[in-house]
Amino acid sequence: MAPMGIRLSPLGMAVFCLLGLGVLYHLYSGFLAGRFAFFMLSEPAAGGPETPHGSAPGGAVDLRELLAVSVLAAVRGGEEVKRVREGNVLNAKAKGKTREGAEEQLTTGDLLSNRRMFYLLKGAFPSVQINSEERVDTADQETVSWDRSIPEDIKQKIQPKEVPAESVTVWIDPLDATQEYTEDLRQYVTTMVCVAVNGKPVIGVIHKPFSSYTAWAMVDGGSNVKARSSYNEKTPRIIVSRSHAGKVEQVARQTFGNKTVIIPAGGAGYKVLALLDVPEKNQEEADVYIHVTYIKKWDICAGNAVLRALGGHMTTLSGEEISYTGSDGNEGGLIASINMNHKALIEKLPDLEKTSHK
């Protein structure tokens, strides 16, 4: 009941209610619109945009897709490497020294290949950690798209397999064998991509830009490359870095005999391919690959994955598995083989492990 002496006008009550509704509208319209927009973005309509390329519900990635874009990245990076070398616009400069005191070279080929490979992989798999030999300059960002197509040979051999995105680390080497690249020793040059899951290398891609040959493999999946059918375990042919040939030769011949062949070569990717059945006229063949000093993980991860997929081994000189998480360097040197008694090889070369820390 209204207070005595005051009569409420129906028209006044209606105006009052309308004013109240107007106030409530202004107070809550922004909030409701925001909630509506959130709902629409969270639940896309049928036929609308799906999860980002390379991603799956729950923060997972498909390793088959990651293999496909890794092959494409290695090829695209190789195109830059080849174009710079053939145009003779290397602009080579020293970027520092190795632990052994040798000058490390940096060229335009390294930088352009790195940019192309990094942004292609990052655009396809934005939630995956990518480690590269060269620094990525955000001011020089490049948009490189992937249409999510998967080559037929990968489709035929590899089944889709999802893993958590946080378990994946991608290692890219945009130009392996830069020193040889500057010397125009083209056969040694490769571009490489490796995918590690929980620190274990599971996908490896090694591409040779100057012959357009690409080797790829996935552990427990398939590959487009095979191991050679015959190896010499008694007097193996040992492939080593050009700068390490003298360190390895004396110990190796004392161990395996004077008939042991030492093959000096450039590039970790090239040395791994030497252990395989590669249809390349400029590719040497070896039975064992040995490196006796510190080496970066982007140099060896792809080769490690390829060997693992084919039943081979790559370990430190003391026989320890190499983890592809944490620091970017491997302190213990390495020995790689396939279709051989890897443990026996390690036991025959005990002195080499000591030189890996010098």
Fold of 227-348: D-Maltodextrin-Binding Protein; domain 2 (3.40.190)
List binding-site positions for Mg(2+): 133, 173, 175-176, 299
Domain formed by 60-224, architecture: 2-Layer Sandwich (3.30)
- DSSP calls for 6-22: ----HHHHHHHHHHHHH
Kindly report, residue by residue over 16-27, the tens digit of the pLDDT: 555 555 544 444
Name the 3-class secondary structure at 309: helix
Q: Are 265 and 274 in contact (CB under 8 A)?
A: yes
pLDDT of residue 20: 58
Burial letters for 205-220: b for 16+ Cβ neighbours within 10 Å, e otherwise? bbbbbbbebbbbbbbe
Pairing relationship of beta strands 60-62 and 93-97 according to DSSP bridges: unpaired
Please give the structure tokens belonging to residue 132. 């590269």
Nearest to 302 by CA among 199, 193, 208: 193
Residues 348, 67: Cα–Cα separation, whole Å? 36
Catalytic residue numbers, as ranges: 110, 178
The answer to pTM > 0.85 is no
- CA neighbours within 13 Å on the CB side: how many for 63? 26
Q: Which residues contact 30 (CB under 8 A, 6 or more apart)?
A: none
Kindly report, residue by residue over 59-83, the tens digit of the pLDDT: 999 999 999 999 999 999 999 999 9
Reported as type and span, the H/E element at residue 181 is: helix 178-182
∠ CA 309-80-304 to the nearest 5 degrees? 15
Q: Are 224 and 279 in contact (CB under 8 A)?
A: no
Residues 356, 358: Cα–Cα separation, whole Å? 6
pLDDT of residue 48: 34
DSSP letter at 187? G
Nearest to 132 by CA among 163, 100, 110: 110
* pLDDT tens, the chain, 358 aa long: 444 444 556 655 655 555 555 544 444 444 344 333 333 333 333 333 334 445 444 499 999 999 999 999 999 999 999 999 999 999 998 876 666 556 788 999 999 999 999 999 999 999 999 999 888 776 667 777 788 999 999 999 999 999 999 999 999 999 999 999 999 999 999 999 999 999 999 999 999 999 999 999 999 999 999 999 888 888 899 999 998 888 888 888 888 888 899 999 999 999 999 999 999 888 999 999 999 999 999 999 999 999 999 999 999 999 999 999 999 999 999 999 999 999 999 988 866 655 554 4
The structural domains of the chain, with segments of one domain joined by +, span 60-224, 227-348
Residues 283, 270: Cα–Cα separation, whole Å? 8
The residues pairing with 291 across neighbouring beta strands, listed in sequence order, are 334
Pairing relationship of beta strands 334-337 and 237-241 according to DSSP bridges: unpaired
